[in-house]
């Protein structure tokens, strides 16, 4: 079996506590099976980049990490990745910042990753690069003479062509994807947006899964990521989850719980979610004192100004709504700025009558799938899900809403609270079948199966010349 070399912005080392995210668990399993290596940034900074590689092995997974300079972090990570690509790819062109320093830092750090990874890679290794931080890395590895089978997976949406063309040197960035053999997206929508760009802006052609520009043909596929469904079911039944379940239920005093779990990010629609819940409270005074919204939102990217603004806005909104509707023994919104381990989250999910997952735009959204997997099979809750999350394609039996509409959100909450058991069971069973059949292992095998089938003896030609 060929070794798998995973390259991503950050490396998640396995822990005995088992509280890693689903992606980390899936990749760790593949790395163990193939004796592979996970290459990425350590999360630490250094005064001067030396190229030193920190090697470690945790629970059978080998990792190789580098430290970056403060300037690297500012320009590559906080800058181009999270101030330019992230907002643009989430359709927030109004928040995207375009700066030459950002793009320069992004390319510099990708070259540093290429320099770091190349000596570790053997001719038969399979290389799997992850996410928007690393788009040009494949071309940089090809420039160093690597002819390995190489794949790239994008974990966020791919924007429409009319938005992507606002990015300086957009064609150069997209052209670099043609250095890979297989490029993956979560949904057909994101894949179709990629194909449209290639056809309209690069003069490429599409033939099924194959996309050609010049003399270079790659496979571009939709392969939705899942969760480790069985592991999450077991987590929901664990002693830790049961303790959290009873703690939450006792604090509610028989009130219905609505739960949201999201990283503090403008793409998650938290401001709109609070507004929709406020509309529900305004329209349905009969439900006052009978329902509580708990929003768990751990802070992220605190160095980026737009994220500081989000936190301030949500603090203000939660205070205003609670001030208007609270009573001495009831607070309608519990707003929590911290994260919880997976098994505790599973207990919180199970305690909730409604899972409120309403991103404005999301590549997939695994919280929706986690909520489904954590439910009591005999008395499941109801998932309210944004139409603009990738997960909506698979979880069609959720109550699908437009997150921008407070009226739709209010109506969905009302419907979910009143939904009879037989309908809840039918909807949950359908969604759970999807969560179980297309789980994290299915996703990994879906992508790596394509990559392993690539003809390793065929020398990849040079990508098409960059334009724009």
The DSSP line for 207-275 is ETTEEEETTEEEEEEE------HHHHHHHHTSHHHHHHHHHHHHHHTT-EEEEEE--S-GGG-HHHHHH
Active site residue 237: no
The DSSP line for 56-74 is EEETTEEEEEEEE-HHHII
Distances (CA, A) of 153 to 187, 247, 265, 317, 444: 12, 39, 22, 36, 11
- Cα 304 to its chain centre, rounded Å, is 19
Under 8 Å between Cβ of 384 and 354: yes
The half-sphere exposure of 303 on its side-chain side, counting CA atoms within 13 A, is 9
C-alpha 183/C-alpha 129 separation (Å) is 10
Among residues 155, 169, 196, 287, the one annotated as catalytic is 155
Roughly how many angstroms between the first and final C-alpha of the chain, as a whole number? Answer: 41
327 phi/psi in degrees, rounded to 5: -125, 175
Helices 229-236 and 421-437, packing angle to 10 deg: 130
Active site residue 181: no
C-alpha 135/C-alpha 106 separation (Å) is 10
Among residues 362, 397, 411, 439, the one annotated as catalytic is 362
Task: Kindly report the length of the chain.
Answer: 468
Catalytic residues: 155, 362
């Amino acid at each position: 079996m060929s070794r798998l070399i995973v390259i991503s912005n950050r490396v998640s080392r396995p822990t005995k506590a088992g509280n890693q995210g689903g992606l980390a668990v899936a990749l760790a399993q593949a790395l163990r099976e193939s004796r592979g290596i996970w290459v990425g940034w350590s999360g630490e900074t250094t005064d001067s980049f030396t190229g030193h590689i920190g090697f470690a092995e945790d629970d059978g997974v080998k990792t190789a990490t580098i430290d970056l300079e403060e300037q690297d972090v500012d320009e590559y990570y906080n800058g181009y990745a999270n101030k330019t690509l992230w907002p643009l790819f989430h359709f927030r062109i109004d928040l995207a910042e375009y700066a030459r320093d950002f793009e320069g830092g992004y390319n510099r750090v990708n070259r540093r990753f290429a320099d770091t990874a190349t000596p570790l890679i053997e001719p038969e290794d399979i290389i799997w690069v992850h996410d928007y931080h690393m788009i040009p890395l494949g071309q940089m590895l090809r420039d160093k003479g690597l002819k390995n089978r190489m794949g790239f997976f994008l974990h966020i949406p791919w924007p429409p062509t009319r938005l992507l063309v606002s990015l300086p040197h957009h064609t150069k960035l997209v052209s670099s994807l043609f250095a890979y053999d297989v490029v993956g997206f979560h949904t057909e929508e994101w894949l179709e947006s990629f194909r449209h760009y290639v056809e309209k802006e690069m003069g490429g052609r599409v033939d099924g899964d194959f996309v050609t520009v010049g003399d270079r043909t790659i496979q571009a596929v939709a392969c939705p990521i899942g969760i480790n469904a069985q592991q999450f079911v077991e987590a929901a039944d664990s002693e830790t989850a049961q303790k959290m379940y009873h703690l939450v239920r006792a604090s509610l005093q028989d009130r219905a719980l609505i739960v949201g779990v999201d990283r503090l990010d403008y793409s998650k629609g938290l401001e709109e979610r609070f507004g929709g819940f406020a509309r529900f409270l305004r329209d349905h005074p009969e439900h006052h004192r009978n329902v509580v919204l708990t929003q768990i939102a751990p802070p992220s990217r605190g160095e980026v100004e737009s994220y500081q603004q989000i936190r301030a806005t949500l603090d203000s909104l939660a205070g205003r709504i609670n001030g208007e509707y609270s009573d001495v023994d009831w607070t309608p919104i519990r707003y929590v700025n911290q994260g919880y381990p997976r098994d505790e989250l599973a207990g919180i999910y199970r305690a909730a009558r409604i899972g409120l997952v309403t991103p404005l735009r999301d590549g997939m959204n695994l919280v929706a799938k986690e909520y489904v997997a954590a439910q009591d099979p005999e008395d499941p809750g109801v998932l309210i899900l944004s139409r603009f999350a990738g997960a909506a394609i698979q979880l069609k039996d959720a109550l699908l809403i437009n997150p921008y509409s407070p009226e739709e959100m209010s109506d969905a909450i009302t419907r979910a609270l009143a939904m009879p058991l037989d309908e809840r069971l039918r909807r949950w069973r359908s969604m759970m079948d999807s969560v179980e059949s297309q789980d994290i292992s299915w996703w990994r095998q879906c992508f790596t199966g394509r990559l392993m089938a690539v003809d390793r003896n065929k020398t990849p030609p040079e990508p098409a010349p960059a334009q724009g």
